[in-house]
Amino acid sequence: MNIKSKKLLLILMLFIMQPIAMANPSFYPYIKNYSNCSVTVLEDSSIAVSFRAHLVNDLFSDVNPHIEQWKQLIKIPDDESIKLIPHHAILSLYFYNYNGEENHSINIRNISNIFLDGANSSHASNNIKEIKFDSSPGTFSHTHYDVSFTIAANTLKNIRIGATVGGVLNRGEQQYSLLSSKGLSFGSTGKQCEIFDPQAGVAPEAVKIDPKFRLSSARWQLKPLDLDLLLDNTANGAGLDASLENAENNRFCIHYQSMGVRPVLHRIQANNLNGLSADRNHFQLKDKDKIINYQVILMTEGINYAFFLPEDNYINYLKKDAEKMCWTPKIKLFSTNTTDKGSYSDTLNFTITPLA
Under 8 Å between Cβ of 300 and 327:
yes
Strands 194-196 and 47-55: unpaired
Judged on CB neighbours under 10 Å (0-12, 13-18, 19+), 47 is: buried
Judged on CB neighbours under 10 Å (0-12, 13-18, 19+), 294 is: buried
What CATH class has 214-354?
mainly beta
pLDDT at 18: 40
SS3 (DSSP) at 279: coil
| Nearest of 39, 45, 57 to residue 194 by alpha carbon | 39
Separation of alpha carbons 166 and 179, rounded Å: 4
Whole-number average pLDDT of the chain: 88
| Nearest of 31, 57, 36 to residue 164 by alpha carbon | 31
pLDDT at 17: 39
How many residues would you count in the chain?
A: 356
pLDDT at 122: 76
Q: How does pLDDT run across 308-318, given as a tens digit for each residue?
A: 999 888 877 67
Question: At residue 131, does pLDDT exceed 50?
Answer: yes
pLDDT at 318: 73
Q: Is the full-model pTM beyond 0.85?
A: no
Q: How does pLDDT run across 133-192, given as a tens digit for each residue?
A: 999 888 899 999 999 999 999 899 889 999 999 999 999 889 999 999 999 999 999 999
Does the N-terminal peptide bond of residue 29 adopt cis geometry, omega within 30 degrees of 0? Answer: no
Domain ranges (residues) in the chain: 22-196, 214-354
* Cα 280 off chain centre by: 41
